[in-house]
Amino acid sequence: MFPAYEDVVAALLRERKLPVNVDPKDPKIDDPLERDRLRALFSGGLGKPSGYVLPIAHLPSRAGETAFRTGPWHFRGGHCFLVTGDSPVGLRLPLDSLPWVAAADKDPAGLGDPSRDTSPLPPRTRESAKKKPATEGDTKSDRAPALGESASFTVRTAMCAEARKGVLYVFMPPLETLEEYVRLTTAVEAAAKKIGTPVMLEGYTPPRDPRVISLSVTPDPGVIEVNVAPSASWEELVSQTTHLYEEARLARLSAEKFMIDGRHVGTGGGHHLVLGAATTSDSPFLRRPDLLRSLIAYFQRHPSLSYLFSGMFIGPTSQAPRVDEARNDALYEMEIAFDEVTRALAEKEEIRPWLTDRLFRDLLIDVTGNTHRAEICIDKLYSPDSATGRLGLVEMRGFEMPPHARMCLAQQLLLRALVARFWKTPFAPERLVRWRTALHDKFMLPAFVWDDFTEVLADLAESGFRFSPEWYLPHYEFRFPVIGDFEAHGVEITLRAALEPWHVMGEDVASGGTARYVDSSVERLEVRARGLTPERFVVTCNGRRVPLRGLGRSSNDGELAAGVRYRAWQPPRCLHPHIPVASPLTFDLVDTWSSRSLGGCEVHVSHPGGRSYDVRPVNALEAEGRRRTRFTRAGHTPGTIAVPPLEVNEDFPFTLDLRRRGAFASSRKSAK
């Protein structure tokens, strides 16, 4: 063991760059992190050790035994000077200054094969304090290597001890197996108990192993990411989920927030559901490749599974794009992969795990080829790149963290039922659906999303899994809240928030590199009409006719729906910056017989009085107040109204895009 010091040369060089009229112990630097770093460096004293280093590794000895070994580190200056920074000592070791070793003699540290069979961990035993006599193979690493000699015998990993703010931290080195990590932590615990000093472990985490239950908490921009341990039963999953939400509430954390205009939305954090098994070899997706095929095909056929539980950012450039939202020929290539799975199953040919991964890895990607940013992510299924990618896991990334534990459990219950249904009866359609523009037109509207989702529940009911649609009404109301409604002449008009895929702008120069801004200034809402007679009544928005269309199964109730797309606010960087904000939105129920508006409403995208909000609402009551001020049942167009023609939009027939002015010609045939 040897002490580690701060680099005196680097500190003196930094001191020389300071102005002559400042004290190094109290530097007048604008950056608070750099100021605190220099103050701690010069106040603590450069001659005092920052920590202590113990080179240690689990390596084979000359006698053939595998055990923990140690040995000195030899430096040119005779001392260990750390890399400049304020990270723990274990992250600032001068590894580049260690004795040179030839490439042929390097033994790269790796992780154990996750598909290997594991046995229960041995019981805790007290390590013998008696030191074994050193052998020739153990003492070889004590000497300094000769000039030009490959120092293959040098132990190149280490554990460190460092006192920071009154706490003793022990930095754990990288280890290959869980048994090694347990033995080392047992020794640390025994030493801490002997000297009567509590310690805090840091550094490398234990190797991934099914015998270890882990929980990780990671800070992420805007949210705190919590990776919970796998659950082997539904009861365990319920207990873990409810406990997580309760602990978050006690810590004054939640999975919801309020926007400036009062909208109640999720935090944007993903509720990524990971499916697999305790071991790689037991993964259902590797044992039954048709299970993954069924999951991909079913989600592609039912867009509601992609949009009902998603966050605000959807589309081909989002964090979880659908397989048919990027390349136009992606579905054609996916059908070829499906055919290979069908052929192998028909011929009773064994599909190796690596082949399952290679069949779908290059198809389940985003537009840039990123395997992690996909709705159905398989980058940890059986990747040959590293051991961490061969875990037999499939991650569903299209779910957003809901605000309540029961809503969270409802999502997981639905996915578990789908997997059970596909395991019993595979879903293998002959052809995938070419939704084309209907994906970002029809299925952006709440009515058609819910209509498609009821078909999913009906399909599960036929397979023996009876789900009530009422279980998912909270998801529907949270994802598509009601903006307002009005009634006139027996016709009920309801406005709901709809979905809108955001565009990513081109690269802009930013500090430290380039940035791609997202145009979130375009919004969409749904207009739903009940009891409307199309031969007499039409609905207009800002004087333009809304293209109402009948629903699927709900068309017997006489319900019609359409979308209105508009610019809600004017950011400095957006698509078509010359198009102004369409506010307010004035809706009229026009009687074509009398050419008059029978009633209507106004929707403002901000406060109608021009008040600007600087901060988000502090609670739900203030958020509701802001939402109420944006909608009023007054303000419809008075006097005689010229009935506007129906604008024919062949690309998006379900949507009225207010950004496009007079671009579509009227058609009597279409209007009729």
3-class SS at 115?
A: coil
The more confident residue out of 640 and 406 is 406
- What is the DSSP track for 512-567? TEEEEEEE--EEEEEEEEES--TTTEEEEETTEE---EE-SGGGGGTEEEEEEEEE
Q: Please indicate, yes or no, whether residues 162 and 261 belong to a single structural domain of this protein.
A: no
pLDDT in the model for residue 77: 75
Q: Locate 51 and state its tokens.
A: 């920590």
End-to-end CA distance of the chain, in Å?
A: 88
Q: Locate 240 and state its tokens.
A: 């873990």
What gap in Å lies between CA 561 and CA 534, rounded to an integer? 12
The more confident residue out of 33 and 297 is 297
What gap in Å lies between CA 534 and CA 592, rounded to an integer? 10
Q: Please indicate, yes or no, whether residues 572 and 659 belong to a single structural domain of this protein.
A: yes
> Does 455 reside within a domain?
no
pLDDT in tens, 613-672: 778 888 889 999 999 999 999 877 888 888 999 888 889 999 999 998 765 544 444 443
Confidence of residue 251 (pLDDT cuts 50, 70, 90): very high
pLDDT in the model for residue 148: 73
Tell whether the model's pLDDT for residue 375 goes beyond 90. Answer: yes
Residue 661's alpha-carbon distances to 393, 566, 603, in angstroms, are 49, 11, 20
297 and 290 Cβ atoms separated by less than 8 Å:
no
Domain boundary among 179, 203, 227: 203
- Structural domain count, the chain: 3
Domain boundary among 203, 226, 244: 203
The more confident residue out of 583 and 431 is 431
- The b-or-e profile of 110-148 (16+ CB within 10 A means b, else e) is ebbebbeeeeeeeeeeeeeeeeeeeeeebeebeeebeee
From 48-62, 534-548, 550-564, the region with the lowest mean pLDDT? 550-564
Look at the block and give the residue holding tokens 């000895």: 61
HEC string for 191-255 = HHHHHCCCEEEEECCCCCCCCCCCCEEEEECCEEEEECCCCCCHHHHHHHHHHHHHHHHHCCCCC
Give the pLDDT mean for 119-138.
58
Q: Please indicate, yes or no, whether residues 555 and 643 belong to a single structural domain of this protein.
A: yes
Q: Please indicate, yes or no, whether residues 592 and 631 belong to a single structural domain of this protein.
A: yes
Q: Please indicate, yes or no, whether residues 253 and 140 belong to a single structural domain of this protein.
A: no
Give ∠ CA 392-394-400 in degrees, rounded to 5. Answer: 150
> Does 209 reside within a domain?
no
pLDDT in the model for residue 141: 59
pLDDT in tens, 448-457: 999 999 999 9
Q: Please indicate, yes or no, whether residues 558 and 635 belong to a single structural domain of this protein.
A: yes
pLDDT in the model for residue 149: 76
Q: Please indicate, yes or no, whether residues 419 and 566 belong to a single structural domain of this protein.
A: no
Q: Please indicate, yes or no, whether residues 271 and 362 belong to a single structural domain of this protein.
A: yes
What gap in Å lies between CA 604 and CA 627, rounded to an integer? 9
- The b-or-e profile of 175-189 (16+ CB within 10 A means b, else e) is bebbbbbbbbeeebe
> Does 467 reside within a domain?
no
Q: Please indicate, yes or no, whether residues 38 and 172 belong to a single structural domain of this protein.
A: yes
Percent of the chain with pLDDT over 70: 87
3-class SS at 636?
A: coil
From 111-115, 210-214, 254-258, 299-303, the region with the lowest mean pLDDT? 111-115
Q: Please indicate, yes or no, whether residues 298 and 369 belong to a single structural domain of this protein.
A: yes
Confidence of residue 58 (pLDDT cuts 50, 70, 90): confident
> Does 462 reside within a domain?
no
Give the pLDDT mean for 574-598.
92
Beta strands 631-632 and 522-530 are unpaired
Which residues constitute the domain of residue 78? 2-203
What gap in Å lies between CA 637 and CA 630, rounded to an integer? 18
Q: How many CA atoms lie within 13 A of 339 on its CB side?
A: 9
What gap in Å lies between CA 77 and CA 10, rounded to an integer? 15
From 162-171, 462-471, 609-618, the region with the lowest mean pLDDT? 609-618
Global pTM? 0.85
pLDDT in the model for residue 21: 60
Q: Please indicate, yes or no, whether residues 226 and 85 belong to a single structural domain of this protein.
A: no
Give ∠ CA 157-158-161 in degrees, rounded to 5. Answer: 160
> Does 638 reside within a domain?
yes
Domain boundary among 443, 471, 498: 443
Helices (H) and strands (E) in the chain, counts: 15, 28
Tell whether the model's pLDDT for residue 591 goes beyond 90. Answer: yes
Return the bridge partners of 236, or none.
none
pLDDT in the model for residue 453: 96
Give 197-200's long-range contacts (Cβ < 8 A, gap of 24+). Answer: 197/168, 198/168, 199/168, 199/169, 199/170, 200/167, 200/168, 200/169, 200/170
Tell whether the model's pLDDT for residue 419 goes beyond 90. Answer: yes
Q: Please indicate, yes or no, whether residues 31 and 175 belong to a single structural domain of this protein.
A: yes
Return the bridge partners of 590, or none.
538, 597
The DSSP code for 31 is: -
> Does 151 reside within a domain?
yes
Strand order in the sheet with 80-81: 80-81, 2-5, 51-55, 158-164, 167-172, 199-203
Q: Locate 11 and state its tokens.
A: 């500190």
> Does 170 reside within a domain?
yes
> Does 465 reside within a domain?
no
Give the pLDDT mean for 452-469.
95
Tell whether the model's pLDDT for residue 134 goes beyond 60. Answer: no
Cβ within 8 Å of residue 441, ≥6 positions away: 563, 651, 652, 653, 654, 655
